[in-house]
Amino acid sequence: MKKIITLFVGFAATALMVSSVNAAGGGNEVKDEVHMNMSDKASLQNGAKLFVNHCLNCHSLGYSRYNRVAEDLEIPLHLLKENLMFTTEKEGDLMTTTMPVEDAKRWFGVAPPDLTLVARVRKPDWIYTYLRAFYQDESSPSGWNNSLFENVAMPHAMYELQGVQRMVGKADMHGGDGHGPTLEAGQKLVGDAIFELQHPGKLTPAEFDVAMTDLTAFLTYVAEPAQLKRKTIGVFTLGFLIILLLLCILLKKEYWRDVH
């Protein structure tokens, strides 16, 4: 018995260690937590719209089809055609980009990766932080840099919405007597980087955060489209199993009545 308990405790400790290493992700990266609501269709629809308007010219979603997205996110087909698709595309087409890979490599140094599975590889918190962490940097070839992904080859695709921000420095996350870093008025913390807005964009900083939550939710949905239906199926399955259990108990009683 003792051996079994020791084995069990050892196993639990290892599992705990593995999960905490996973949670830490890429070493010392500080990420902001994203608060998505995957059952909020309006949020997912807005994310889809942002993606098609600002990202799809460089990044493909090579494993997603327009009509599947329309069905899952309850986007009426005429709206999809007007807002999300370009004239040459058909409803059942994959969401690929028209940018030739060779050109992309020449322009950016690396081809923009397909983003269908990025939310599984990088995790939603990383994407949410990354999308808000672009800042102006004259020393970089594109004129932009990113505090979470240093020397990134991607330019800031949404500066019109966010505005242009400047990085003031990195924060001491354990400073402020353990209460986190202290910021001056007009400063914003993204991950562990402190930013100041130089030129405001079309959205306020708070609105931009909400828009990036929507975009992150959309990419999280694309990485696993079945998750929208999975919970409903789970509830039905549990309900079915409970009814089955009751029937089995009744059946057992019925059989044993004759034996006793």
Point out which residues bind ligand HEC (CB under 6 A): 54-55, 57-59, 108, 110, 112-113, 115, 118, 121-122, 127, 130-131, 152-155, 157-158, 215
Burial class (CB in 10 A: 0-12, 13-18, 19+), 155: middle
Q: Nearest distance from residue 139's CB to ligand HEC, in Å?
A: 15
For residues 12 and 4, give the distance between their C-alpha atoms in angstroms, rounded to a whole number: 12
Asked whether 222 and 55 are in contact (CB, 8 A), the reply is: no
Task: Output 155 or 180, the one with its CB closest to ligand HEC.
Answer: 155
Asked whether 147 and 189 are in contact (CB, 8 A), the reply is: no
Task: Output 22 or 78, the one with its CB closest to ligand HEC.
Answer: 22
Q: Nearest distance from residue 59's CB to ligand HEC, in Å?
A: 5
Task: Output 155 or 181, the one with its CB closest to ligand HEC.
Answer: 155
191 conformational bin, left if phi > 0, alpha if psi -120 to 50, beta if neither: left
Task: Output 80 or 146, the one with its CB closest to ligand HEC.
Answer: 146
CB-nearest residue to ligand HEC: 55
Q: Nearest distance from residue 203's CB to ligand HEC, in Å?
A: 13
Q: Which two tokens stand for residue 185?
A: 């008025």
For residues 115 and 253, give the distance between their C-alpha atoms in angstroms, rounded to a whole number: 56
Asked whether 46 and 83 are in contact (CB, 8 A), the reply is: no
Q: Nearest distance from residue 141's CB to ligand HEC, in Å?
A: 11
Nearest to 66 by CA among 233, 222, 210, 205: 222
Task: Output 127 or 194, the one with its CB closest to ligand HEC.
Answer: 127
Q: Nearest distance from residue 233's CB to ligand HEC, in Å?
A: 29
Q: Nearest distance from residue 231's CB to ligand HEC, in Å?
A: 25
Q: Nearest distance from residue 95's CB to ligand HEC, in Å?
A: 13
Cβ-Cβ contacts under 8 Å for 90 (sequence gap 6 or more): 66
User: Taking the chain, what is the end-to-end CA distance rounded to the nearest angstrom?
Assistant: 37
Interior/surface letters 14-36, b for 16+ CB within 10 angstroms, e for the rest: eeeeeeeeeeeeeeebebbebeb
Task: Output 94 or 168, the one with its CB closest to ligand HEC.
Answer: 94
Task: Output 70 or 212, the one with its CB closest to ligand HEC.
Answer: 212
